[in-house]
Structure 1
Amino acid sequence: MKDVAVVAYCRTAIAKARRGAFNQTHGIPMAAHVLKEVVRRAGVATDEVEDVVLGCGLPEGATGHNIARNAGLYAGFGMDIPGVTINRYCGSGLTAASMVANRIATGEIKAAIAGGVESISLVQFNMNLNHFIYEPLQQQIPAVWWTMIQTADHVAKKYGISRESQDEYVLKSQQRVAEASAAGKFAEEIVPLETTMLVKDKESGDTSEQRVALAEDEGPRPDTTLEGLAGLEPVNPGGTVTAGNASQLSDGAAAVLMMDADLASQRGLPVLGLFRGMQLAAVPPEDMSIAIAPAVTKLMRHHGLGDSQIDLWELHEAFAVTTLYNQRELDTPWETTNVNGGAIALGHPYGMSGVRYLGSTLLELERRNAQRAIIGVCAAGGMATAAYLER
């Protein structure tokens, strides 16, 4: 089996859904933008890309019709480069990377792009819900169709994770995002995208189009305080999830170029690190947030890893309760867990996030001259993906 190198990574800035810069941006140009840039950063020719695999949590409408293939065409990759779109909800991006890595490891291909894209603005609020629920399964397992907020409230109550601890975690995450942003860490990842957004006048209600170039994430709130978080009403009566301790609905895209590590080394390409593998776990759908811990445990067992060998941990911030539960179960040190904050502050375009974690974590390993990292991302339906990275 061949080692698999990540030779380049980039992403768009993350825009707020509906109110942000990408609220009119179709998924095809958004994804094509990062496809073109990741090839440029890798220093390879487009005809060396043998496949484009994009994760997307809502693959319909503006992100439908096999957006991976269409984005590749729009990026100018040529008619002979195929593409496939996959959906494991929030685990879609890491699953895309795993699919590419497996084909490279077995020698089927030498280089391909894994990525993720989501236009929550254009898709989530216009979904085709015709026959969305299958009643025989709903009667057996109703939680299959619970909202993610329902699952988070359930986990918080079941496992004793208080509203106060969730808000305290959010404050820490927002502060870490602010520090990382001030240090220019996110600017290193972002490729600015010029687009047209729809702007609504708050007083008159009139709308107009405005040309913008988004180069910074729109979500972070560096002025967050515990008092402000405590003042937010729960989304569901009696629950603990609020707009402040849940990841933000967002739009964005990200991509990594992966290659046979020997070939990348021979050509002197800028290898960011190695993708060593991915493992999965599944739990009852209502317990969605807790699936990361068993996925990570399975991954570490498979690779013979001990806790002390891991230099960085990235545990998905679907909700504060998600990170708090899995950090507690895995007993990861806070000083090496989500060191640059996470999706609560930055935002969470479902299909994009796993790829963002992959690329940003490799960059952080390089900054710290560290060697190993674990990423864990939960997904709707009670699933989780976990990946092992190495420099």
Structure 2
Amino acid sequence: MKDVAVVSYCRTAIAKAQRGALNQTHGIAMAAHVMKEAVARAKIEAGEIEDVVLGCGLPEGATGHNVARSAALFAGFGVGVPGVTVNRYCGSGLTAASYVANAIARGEIACGIAGGVESISLVQFNLNFNGFFYEPLQQIMPAVWWTMNQTADLVAEKYGISRQALDEYVVMSQKRVTEANAAGKYAEEIIPIATQMKVTDKATGASSVVAVTLDRDEGPRPDTTLEKLSALKPVYEGGTTTAGNASQLSDGAAAVVMMDADLAAKRGLSILGYWRGFALGSVAPEEMSIAITPAIRKLMKLNAVNADDVDLWELHEAYAVTTLYNQRELQTPWERTNVNGGAIALGHPYGMSGIRYLGSTLLELGRRNAKRAIVGVCTAGGMATAALLER
């Protein structure tokens, strides 16, 4: 089996769904934008890409029609570069990376792009629900169709994680994002995108389309305090999930170029790090948030890795309860866990997030001159993806 190197990474800034700069940007345009930049940063020719695999949580409408292939064509890669779109909801990005990594490791391809894209603005609010529910399964297992907010409330109640603990975590996460921004960490991975944005006047309701350039994440709130979070009403009466301790609905795209490590070294390409392993976890759909723990435990067992061997942990911030539960179960040190904050502050374009975690974590390993990291992302349906990375 061949070693797999990540030779470049970039992403759009993350925009607020409906209200943000990408609210009119088609998924093809977003994905093509980051794919072109990833190839440029890798210092390779587009024709060397042998496959494009894009993760997308909602692959219909503006992110439908096999957006991976369409984006490769729009990026100017040529008709000889194929593409495939994969959906594992929030785990789509890491799943896409695993597909490319496996193909390289087996010698089927030498170089490919793994990416993720989500236009929640253009897709989620216009979903096709024809046949969406399947009554025979819904009667047996209704939680398959629960909202993620419902699953978060259940996990918090069942496993004794209080509203105060959730909100306290958010204050820390927002602070870490603010510090990372001040240090220029996120600017390093963002490629600005010029686009058209729909703006609606609150007073008159009149809408217009304006030209904008998105070059920074729109979601972070540096002024977040425990007092402000405590004042927010829960989504469901009696629950603990609020708009403040859940990840934000967002738009964005990200991409990495992955390559046969020997080939990358022979050509003198910059190597951000290595993809060392991947594992899946699965639990009851209503307990979605807890699936990261079994996925990571399986990953560690498969790769003979102990907790002391891990320099950085990235535990998905689908909700504050997601991170708190899995950090507690895995006993990861906070000084090495989600060190630059996460999706609660930045936002969570479903298919993109796994690729962002992959690229951002490799960059942080480099800054710290550290060796090993584990990324875990839970996903709708009671699943999780986990990846082992090295430098």
TM-score with structure 2 length normalisation?
1.00
In structure 2, the partner of 1:79 is: 79
CA distance in 2 between counterparts of 1:236 and 1:76 reads 47
Where 1:189 maps in the other structure, the secondary structure is: coil
Where 2:175 maps in the other structure, the secondary structure is: helix
Runs (4+) off by over 2 Å? none
Task: Give, as a single letter, the amino acid of the residue that structure 1 aligns with 2:11.
Answer: R
**1:117-156 maps to which residues of 2 (within 5 A)?**
117-156=117-156
1:50 aligns with 2:50: yes
In structure 1, the partner of 2:30 is: 30
Query: Deviations along 1:26-67, whole A, 9 cap, x unmatched?
Result: 000000000000000000000100000000000000000000
In structure 2, the partner of 1:314 is: 314
In structure 2, the partner of 1:180 is: 180
In structure 1, the partner of 2:8 is: 8
In structure 1, the partner of 2:104 is: 104
Where 1:29 maps in the other structure, the secondary structure is: helix
In structure 2, the partner of 1:347 is: 347
TM superposition shift of 1:277: 1.2
CA distance in 1 between counterparts of 2:245 and 2:101 reads 34
CA distance in 1 between counterparts of 2:317 and 2:59 reads 22
In structure 2, the partner of 1:215 is: 215
Task: Give, as a single letter, the amino acid of the residue that structure 1 aligns with 2:212.
Answer: V
CA distance in 2 between counterparts of 1:228 and 1:210 reads 32
In structure 2, the partner of 1:384 is: 384
TM superposition shift of 1:194: 0.2
Where 2:188 maps in the other structure, the secondary structure is: helix
Where 1:188 maps in the other structure, the secondary structure is: coil
CA distance in 2 between counterparts of 1:186 and 1:335 reads 19
Where 1:88 maps in the other structure, the secondary structure is: coil
In structure 2, the partner of 1:269 is: 269
Where 2:54 maps in the other structure, the secondary structure is: strand
**1:214-363 maps to which residues of 2 (within 5 A)?**
214-363=214-363
CA distance in 2 between counterparts of 1:158 and 1:200 reads 42
Task: Give, as a single letter, the amino acid of the residue that structure 1 aligns with 2:207.
Answer: T
In structure 1, the partner of 2:40 is: 40
Task: Give, as a single letter, the amino acid of the residue that structure 2 aligns with 1:238.
Answer: G
CA distance in 1 between counterparts of 2:269 and 2:344 reads 34
Unaligned 5+ runs, structure 2: none
Where 1:384 maps in the other structure, the secondary structure is: strand
TM superposition shift of 1:274: 0.2
1:68 aligns with 2:68: yes
TM superposition shift of 1:207: 0.6
Task: Give, as a single letter, the amino acid of the residue that structure 2 aligns with 1:243.
Answer: A
TM superposition shift of 1:131: 1.0
TM superposition shift of 1:202: 1.1
Query: Deviations along 1:63-97, whole A, 9 cap, x unmatched?
Result: 00000000000000000110000000000000000
CA distance in 1 between counterparts of 2:281 and 2:220 reads 30
Task: Give, as a single letter, the amino acid of the residue that structure 2 aligns with 1:290.
Answer: I
Where 2:203 maps in the other structure, the secondary structure is: coil
Where 1:81 maps in the other structure, the secondary structure is: coil
TM superposition shift of 1:350: 0.1
Unaligned 5+ runs, structure 1: none
CA distance in 1 between counterparts of 2:171 and 2:27 reads 32
In structure 1, the partner of 2:159 is: 159
